[in-house]
Amino acid sequence: MKIFESHVHYDDERFDKDRDELLEKLNEEIDVVVNIGADIESSKRSILLSKMYDYIYAAIGVHPHDVKNLKDEDLLKLEEMAKEKKVIAIGEIGLDYYYDNSPRELQKDWFKKQLALAKKLKMPVSIHSRDASKDTFDIIKASGVREGVIHCFSEGKEMAKEYVKLGYYLGIGGVLTYKNARKLVEVVEEIDIEHLVIETDGPYLSPEPNRGKRNDSRNLKYVIAKIAEIKEMEEEEVAEITYNNAKKMYRI
């Protein structure tokens, strides 16, 4: 079956010891991978990986944790990097009020700036939102950006419906397999599969039965199986639909 990994971080240091070996073999199981930037340097590394492997594409952007380090000229750097052939999205961008690693007003300011860049470049976005539901939604709605994914979606089904109305996909990963994931299970029950994409967020958030271990795209099969169980579908059908959704979203 065809599988599309819509959000992963293979440039992360937790892959340093076996990255090349893993990525050489991974394409036997996973058809397309989008490696997501989290700051300027990781965005550069994402581009490098996309040049090394035919099946890997890159997203570039600065995570809310790291916007405290940004200067105005960094926006120009991102715009220049976006010209690379296999850069297909602006991300991971958004708000994180759980850790508050960057001041909230600064987070909002840079979120708006990166959304504006995506709109200027007519590119989809990959959105991070944690404990910042209302501000994230309001900023996205005001931005006019109507293409992208709410990565690692963690809100309830009513907010899910609102994002779908805006034109967004919901990124579903390993959290769906956890015993305490009832809210996310309800989202997957309620939202048409045509609005879902699958992701690992590797090296983070491994699904059951590998929870607590380093995550990679081979674990997507557990996410596919759980969605298939919830929606009473065949796993191959879930894989194919989410594959096509991600291709459409990222315009590959």
Quickly list DSSP for 156-197: -HHHHHHHHHHTEEEEE-GGGGSTT-HHHHHHHHHS-GGGEE
CATH number of the domain bearing residue 166: 3.20.20.140
- Predicted local confidence at residue 230, as pLDDT: 98
- pLDDT-based confidence at 5, cuts 50/70/90? very high
pLDDT of residue 63: 98
Compute the chain's Rg from CA coordinates: 17
What percentage of the chain reaches a pLDDT higher than 90? 100
How far is the C-alpha of 142 from the C-alpha of 164, rounded, in Å? 16
Residues 6+ apart with CB under 8 A from 85: none
Percentages of the chain per state (helix, strand, coil), in multiples of 5:
50, 15, 35
Percent with pLDDT over 70 in the chain: 100
CB-based contacts of 71, cutoff 8 Å, min separation 6: none
pTM (two decimals): 0.97
Strand partners, 51: none
> Per-residue pLDDT tens for 177-231?
999 999 999 999 999 999 999 999 999 999 999 999 999 999 999 999 999 999 9
Confidence (pLDDT) at 105: 98
Q: Taking all residues of the chain, what is their mean pLDDT, rounded to a whole number?
A: 98
pLDDT 10s digits, 152-181: 999 999 999 999 999 999 999 999 999 999
Per-residue confidence (pLDDT) for residue 58, from 0 to 100: 98
* Tally of structural domains, the chain: 1
Angle (CA) 27-31-33 rounded to 5° is: 85
Query: What does the pLDDT read at residue 223?
Result: 98
Residue 81, domain extent: 4-250
